[in-house]
């Protein structure tokens, strides 16, 4: 059994080796890379990405990244392509072929078939002088000196390099398209990140109760309202406008000071000018206000009129926090 120190040292060596190889890619980015980006950006079709073995796995990830950042892409396995899936490629599609050696049998069969359809080919390869490198219209150089594998056999550093090249492509295209955080949210509506970008206050407040009392409401009825609506707070409203707020904390502080509250009303214990937020504001903005002022509830208004409450627990439930 190897010692912990030897395992840790090997892990560090692997990371350092791959890091050095990735940094060297900056020296390999040339005019072909810029031309490839412009080709994809100006294309009326999709990006079809193909590969075999570990390169096929990387191709799938690059497809996912492109799709999520505004560039339509589809995966085509190189082996399946020469057995019927070549029909996936449409007239205006751009094909990216990923291969470390650029000389695998499947690639040698596939490339002439793609070229016969007049589709442009972008190669991501570690061998510019390979069959793929010589046949491609543009070469994105993914050369690495050696794999992180001790035997220099298992695809490790080379597949990392391919992945980084794909990320660089996606980011350049994203930048050219002016792809914004709101665009990103459209493609990621189900995740916590997407929710931060599209979820609005009204989406949360609309499903909550809307506790409210008037300035003259008795303390007993204030307690009942807060208890029944289960948000730990009630707005004090007059002519549909928020004039104050009463929280559980306000009630506890009142009870610690007076024995008889039968003659008190909401206006006697409310806090005036409470923090509030508009219905159309982003939910993440509500969180920022709560954190800044160390509060758990925020009153909501629409066009100056009381519209409900958003609670910290709502934001937690939605994954905003």
Q: What is the mean pLDDT of residues 50-64?
A: 95
User: 68 burial class (0-12, 13-18, 19+ CB within 10 angstroms)?
Assistant: middle
Tell me the pLDDT tens digit for each residue of 149-163.
888 888 899 999 999
pLDDT at 154: 87
Predicted local confidence at residue 194, as pLDDT: 59
Q: Is residue 236 part of a domain?
A: yes
Q: What is the mean pLDDT of the chain?
A: 91
Max Cα distance, the chain (Å): 92
Residues forming a β-bridge with 237: 242
Task: Give the integer Cα–Cα distance in Å for 32 and 124.
Answer: 11
CATH classification of the domain holding 216:
3.10.580.10
Comparison of pLDDT for 177 and 185, the residue scoring more:
177
Q: Please indicate, yes or no, whether residues 153 and 292 belong to a single structural domain of this protein.
A: no
Same domain, 225 and 102: no
- Rounded to an integer, the average pLDDT of 33-55 is 96
Q: Report CA dihedral (155, 156, 160, 165) to the nearest 10 degrees.
A: -30
- Residue 244 and residue 271 in contact, taking contact as beta carbons nearer than 8 Å: yes
CB 246 within 8 A of CB 227: no
Tokens at 295, concatenated: 């509060």
pLDDT at residue 62 tops 90: yes
Per-residue pLDDT, averaged over 119-124, amounts to 97
Measure the CA angle with vertex 194, ends 189 and 199; round to 5°. Answer: 85
Within 10 angstroms of residue 189's Cβ, the number of other Cβ atoms is 11
Please give the distance of CA 298 from its chain centroid, rounded to a whole number: 27
Residue count of the chain: 321
26 and 160 both lie in a single domain: yes
pLDDT at site 301: 95
94 and 170: one domain? yes
pLDDT at 93 over 60: yes
One domain, residues 153 and 24: yes
Q: Per the domain annotation, does 187 fall within a domain?
A: no
For 268-300, what is each residue's pLDDT tens digit?
Answer: 999 998 999 999 998 888 989 999 999 999 999
Q: Which of 179, 208, 225 is the last residue of a domain?
A: 179
Question: Would you say 228 and 237 are in contact if contact means Cβ atoms under 8 Å apart?
Answer: no
Q: How many CA atoms lie within 13 A of 300 on its CB side?
A: 26
Select the more confidently predicted residue: 34 or 263.
Answer: 34
Domain membership of residue 135 as a residue range: 4-179
pLDDT at residue 2 greater than cutoff 90:
no
Give the domain CATH number at 130. 3.40.50.10490
Same domain, 108 and 225: no
Q: Are residues 10 and 113 in the same domain?
A: yes
Mean pLDDT along residues 77-85: 87
310 assigned to some structural domain: yes
Under a CB-based contact definition with an 8 Å cutoff, are residues 74 and 49 in contact?
A: yes
Could you tell me if 45 and 117 lie in one domain? yes
The pTM of the full predicted model, rounded to 2 decimals, is 0.66
Is residue 169 domain-shared with residue 30, that is, in the same domain? Answer: yes
Three-state secondary structure call for residue 142: coil
Residues 81 and 206 grouped into a single domain: no
Is the residue at 142 inside a domain? yes
pLDDT digits (tens, 9 = 90+) for 181-234: 666 666 655 555 556 666 789 988 888 999 999 999 999 999 999 999 999 999
Among 29-33, 57-61, 182-186, 200-204, the minimum mean pLDDT is found in 182-186
The reply to whether 149 and 217 lie within a common domain is no
At residue 136, the 3 state secondary structure works out as coil
Q: Give me the number of domains the chain comprises.
A: 2
pLDDT mean over 119-128: 96
User: Is 315 or 65 the better-scoring residue by pLDDT?
Assistant: 65
192 located within any domain: no
Paired residues of 200 in beta bridges: 282
User: Which residues is 96 bridged to in the sheet?
Assistant: 49, 122
252 exposure class (CB count in 10 Å sphere: 0-12, 13-18, 19+): exposed
The pLDDT assigned to 190 comes to 56
C-beta atoms surrounding 2 within 10 Å: 8
- pLDDT score of 197: 62
């Amino acid at each position: 059994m190897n010692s912990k120190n030897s395992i840790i040292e090997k892990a560090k060596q692997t990371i350092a080796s791959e890091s050095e190889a990735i940094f060297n890619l900056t020296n390999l980015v040339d005019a072909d890379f810029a031309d490839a980006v412009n080709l994809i950006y100006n294309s009326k079709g999709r990006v079809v990405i193909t590969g075999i073995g570990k390169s096929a796995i990387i191709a799938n990830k690059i497809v996912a990244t492109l799709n999520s950042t505004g560039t339509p892409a589809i995966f085509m396995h190189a082996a399946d392509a020469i057995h019927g899936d070549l029909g996936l490629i449409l007239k205006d599609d751009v094909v990216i072929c990923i291969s470390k050696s650029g000389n695998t049998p499947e690639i040698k069969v596939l490339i002439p078939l793609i070229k016969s359809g007049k589709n442009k080919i972008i190669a991501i390869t570690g061998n510019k002088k390979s069959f793929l490198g010589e046949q491609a219209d543009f070469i994105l150089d993914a050369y690495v000196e050696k794999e992180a594998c001790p035997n220099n056999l298992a695809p490790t550093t080379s597949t990392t390099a391919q992945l980084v090249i794909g990320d660089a492509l996606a980011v350049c295209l994203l930048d050219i398209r002016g792809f914004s955080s709101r665009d990103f949210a459209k493609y990621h509506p189900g995740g916590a990140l997407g929710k931060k970008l599209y979820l609005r206050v009204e989406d949360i407040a609309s499903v909550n109760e809307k506790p409210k009392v008037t300035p003259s409401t008795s303390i007993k009825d204030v307690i009942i309202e807060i208890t029944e609506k289960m948000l730990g707070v009630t707005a004090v409203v007059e002519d549909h406008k928020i004039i104050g707020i009463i929280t559980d904390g306000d009630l506890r502080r009142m009870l610690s000071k007076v024995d008889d509250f039968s003659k008190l009303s909401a206006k006697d214990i409310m806090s005036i000018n409470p923090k509030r937020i508009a219905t159309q504001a982003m939910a993440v903005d509500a969180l920022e206000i709560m954190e800044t002022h160390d509060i758990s509830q925020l009153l909501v208004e629409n066009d100056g009129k009381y519209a409900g409450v958003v609670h910290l627990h709502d934001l937690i439930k939605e994954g905003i926090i």
